[in-house]
Amino acid sequence: MKKKTACCLFLLFILSFAAQAENREPKLWGVAIGVRSAEIPYATEIATVNDVIPLMYYDNEEYFFMRGLTGGFRFFRDEKNELSAIGRYRFFDIPADYQNEIQGNAVDVGLQYKYRFTSRFDTDFELMNDRHGRTHANITGNYRWSGGSWELFPSARLRWKSSSFNDYYYGLGMETPGSGFDIKFGIDARYHVASNFYLIGRAALTALERDVTDTSVIRRDVQSELYLGIAFFNEKRKTRGPVLKSKPYVRLAHGWATPSNLGEIIKFQGEPDPYNNQMTSVFYGLPLSDTLLGLPLSIYITPGVVYHHSSEVQGNFPEYVLGLKAYYTWKLPVRLRFGAAEGLSYVTEITYIEGTELDKKGYRPSNLLNYLDFSVDVNLGDIFNAPSMKDLWLGYSIHHRSGIFQTSSAFGRIKGGSNYNSLYLQYHW
């Protein structure tokens, strides 16, 4: 039942992209990667923990939005008010050596009401729960300032935490600090280097309440965190984004698992999976831009649903993917196109091909992993000299999940993952 519900919600999520009225560049799109360093608030010998964190951004001021660690659906929006269902990734900062075993990071879900006082200042009111129903509520004031190449986004958040939330995350099940309030001050910064290229950063301080800091498991009154990275965003415009030449698409693919790593596949040294595990996927592509860094690259945001078929070593189950993909078209007599995507992949169950590899390495698998897709396709209209097929492409792709070489707690601090070779048809309209 949970799988069917999740699949329906994700299909609704894909349809929200398809409902976009015009094929224009959205107000915001981007992809970033950087390093987050945070102080560990618990009584451990290690003082800080570092993570490599990829981030995605998309907002067309319609239904779906994604801003780094927060994403959601808007139910209502006018000039002053906005109501959304949101999900937000929350870090559980413990020493890196324990993160694979514990995997305490989580996605909290809830409702957000936003009130805009001015175009620069707004306030968010949120009621959130973790997956076990532990509640917390936030009131956050947000300000925006821009000048020259700089954009700054200072914020202040007051958070109420229920006793179950505090006892679990700050008492660690050993002590009971009870419900309470903490306060967080942060500032996000964005520096425009050139074209689509930006430098980004974030600094924040969280002051914990006395009932929490008086416990034996907490050693800091104030926890600091810092994030520094690089990003590619759409260029700033004072008017609406241009009408795009790139067209939306649907891609239908079928893939076969391989125990080989990405390097072996690229060198044509891949081996077949002895159990012949297979998957079938459907991806929707919404165009974001016709260029990147001045180059003729078509940029898409591409959500997808993957169905992993049952075999003698695994059952059937879904996988959900969200990525940003770039395409370069080589205009030979027959058009040839190369693509690469970066994003997130979540499986409801661990695939056999992934689980066995990680078990050999001694890792606990993670349902959420980094997603990569590399593809090459050819235009069928050019091959058959058929104008009616000018928007139909036949291609090959590598469907890849991995943990970014054990550098990120977001992906369970694992090294390894899974690969599938796939063939696909992709139609644009």
Full set of structural domains in the chain with CATH:
28-233 (2.40.160.40), 249-428 (2.40.160.20)
**Phi (first) and psi of residue 360, to 5 degrees:** -65, -35
Using 50, 70 and 90 to split pLDDT, how confident is the model at 152?
very high
Residue owning tokens 């009408």: 243
Per-residue pLDDT at 178: 94
> Residue 284's pLDDT band (boundaries 50, 70, 90)?
very high
Does 48 have pLDDT greater than 90? yes
- The answer to whether the CB of 18 falls within 8 A of the CB of 249 is no
Pick 26 or 52 by higher pLDDT.
52
Angle at 150 between CA 145 and CA 155, to 5 degrees: 40
> What's the rounded mean pLDDT across residues 369-376?
96
* pLDDT tens column, 3-22: 555 555 565 556 556 555 56
Say if residues 396 and 423 touch (Cβ distance below 8 Å). Answer: yes
Q: Which residues make Cβ contacts (< 8 Å) with residue 36, sequence separation at least 6? A: 50, 51, 52, 53, 91, 225, 226, 227
What tens digit of pLDDT does each residue of 173-222 get?
A: 899 999 999 999 999 999 999 999 999 999 999 999 999 999 999 999 99
- The stretch 125-147 carries a mean pLDDT of 96
Residue 117 burial (C-beta neighbours within 10 Å; 0-12, 13-18, 19+): exposed
The two beta strands, 336-347 and 368-379, are antiparallel
User: Would you place residue 375 in the very low, low, confident or very high pLDDT band (cuts 50, 70, 90)?
Assistant: very high
3-class secondary structure, 350? coil
Distance between CA atoms of residues 229 and 55, nearest Å: 10
Mean of per-residue pLDDT scores for the chain: 91
pLDDT band at 275 (very low <50, low <70, confident <90, very high): very high
**pTM for the whole structure:** 0.90
What was the pLDDT predicted at 12? 57
Mean pLDDT of 120-138: 96
Cβ atoms of 410 and 105 closer than 8 Å: yes
Average pLDDT over residues 266-283: 94
Distance CA 142, CA 424 (A): 44
> For residues 156 and 309, what is the distance between their CA atoms, to the nearest angstrom?
47
Instruction: Determine the pLDDT at residue 1.
Output: 46
Residue partners of 334: CB distance under 8 A and separation at least 6: 378, 379, 382, 383
Looking at residue 406, what is its pLDDT? 83
Give SS3 for 95. Answer: coil
- 419: tokens are 């690969």
Determine the pLDDT at residue 405. Answer: 83
Q: What percent of the chain has pLDDT over 70?
A: 94
Contact assessment for residue 341 and residue 303, using Cβ atoms and an 8 Å cutoff: no
